[in-house]
């Protein structure tokens, strides 16, 4: 099974940049999308259905903002919308699909870069999210939590760790949270197989950052540790140019 996570920075904009041709070429089994920036009736379900995917989406109440989706070649047994906390679910940040004993979620963690209020919101979300996931993990032990975490974990995950030490997304408390999250029984599937630096999933639109590979790795396919031995391959697809992010993928098998 090949799973891709991708913050598309607006699914309608991505569609105009060749997203469907790319999707058919990559041919993943499951795609977790973040920042769809679309209401349910604006998701291109017809095109996804024609390409062989069931489509599930969870939009923010605010139009043109946030939102997550899951595309799957196999129909899930169950789909869960949100985490049951209104202030987060109003922003469309979590969507889970269950396939037998395997659960795959598309998650879009808040950014704190727009100001202090949103950074406080982000840190509260992180606390509430980890509590939710710990409870979910007891019920659904085989978890894949794919999405934009808006946090770089280690110095090798960011192009300039020194100058960005006080930037939202690389703050000590955010990085410590990610370490704690992994210690609760989760694996960063990309780092499981690839220890090299200079692999990023997001680049600023400023200063030609993408062409100079001055990026951040903030998108992850996190997996419960009991799935670790099922990881066959993983990677990042920086040549996909539909967004300021790029996709990252993992392949699992028996």
Distance CA(100)–CA(97), nearest Å, equals 10
Measured between its terminal Cα atoms, the distance across the chain in Å is 10
pLDDT value for 117: 97
Name the catalytic one among 21, 98, 148, 219.
148
Place of tokens 């209020």: 117
How confident is the model over 31-83, as pLDDT tens digits? 999 999 999 999 999 999 999 999 999 999 999 999 999 999 999 999 999 99
Q: Which domain holds residue 115?
A: 2-252
Active site residue 157: no
Q: Which residues of 107-125 are buried (b: 16+ CB within 10 A; e: fewer)?
A: bbbbbbeeeeeebebbbeb
DSSP 3-state of 137: helix
pLDDT value for 24: 98
How confident is the model over 113-122, as pLDDT tens digits? 999 999 999 9
Q: Which helix (H) or strand (E) holds 252?
A: strand 248-252
Percent of the chain at pLDDT above 70?
A: 100
Q: Which helix (H) or strand (E) holds 215?
A: strand 215-216
- What is the pairing mode between strands 30-34 and 2-7? parallel
Closest CA to 6 of 26, 29, 32: 32
Question: Going by C-beta distance under 8 Å and a sequence separation of 6 or more, which residues neighbour residue 135?
Answer: none
How would you list the strands of the sheet with 248-252, edge to edge?
54-58, 68-72, 30-34, 2-7, 248-252, 231-236
How confident is the model over 2-13, as pLDDT tens digits? 999 999 999 999
β-bridge partners, 81: 95
Single pTM value for the model: 0.98
Mean pLDDT of 205-210: 94
Q: What is the CATH number of the domain that holds 111?
A: 3.60.10.10
Tally the domains of the chain. 1
């Amino acid at each position: 099974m090949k799973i891709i996570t991708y913050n598309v920075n607006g699914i309608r904009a991505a569609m105009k940049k060749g997203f469907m041709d790319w999707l058919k070429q990559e041919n993943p089994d499951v795609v977790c999308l973040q920042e769809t920036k679309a209401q349910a009736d604006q998701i291109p379900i017809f095109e996804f259905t024609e390409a062989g995917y069931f489509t599930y989406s969870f939009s923010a109440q605010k139009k043109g903002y946030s939102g997550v989706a899951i595309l799957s070649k196999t129909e899930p047994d169950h789909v869960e919308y949100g985490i049951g906390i209104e202030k987060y679910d109003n922003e469309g940040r979590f969507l889970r699909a269950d396939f037998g004993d395997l659960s795959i979620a598309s998650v879009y963690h808040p950014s704190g870069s727009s100001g202090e209020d949103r950074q406080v919101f982000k840190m509260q979300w992180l606390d509430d999210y980890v509590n939710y996931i710990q409870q979910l993990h007891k019920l659904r032990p085989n978890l894949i939590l794919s999405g934009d975490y808006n946090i770089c974990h280690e110095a090798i995950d960011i192009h300039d760790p020194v100058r960005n030490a006080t930037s939202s997304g690389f703050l000590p408390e955010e990085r410590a949270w990610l370490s704690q999250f992994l210690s609760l029984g989760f694996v960063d599937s990309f780092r499981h197989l690839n220890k090299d630096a200079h692999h990023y999933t997001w680049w600023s639109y400023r200063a030609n950052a993408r062409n100079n590979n001055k990026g951040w790795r903030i998108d992850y396919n996190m997996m419960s540790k009991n799935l670790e031995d099922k990881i066959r391959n993983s990677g990042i697809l920086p040549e996909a140019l539909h967004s300021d992010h790029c996709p990252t993928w993992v392949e699992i098998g028996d």
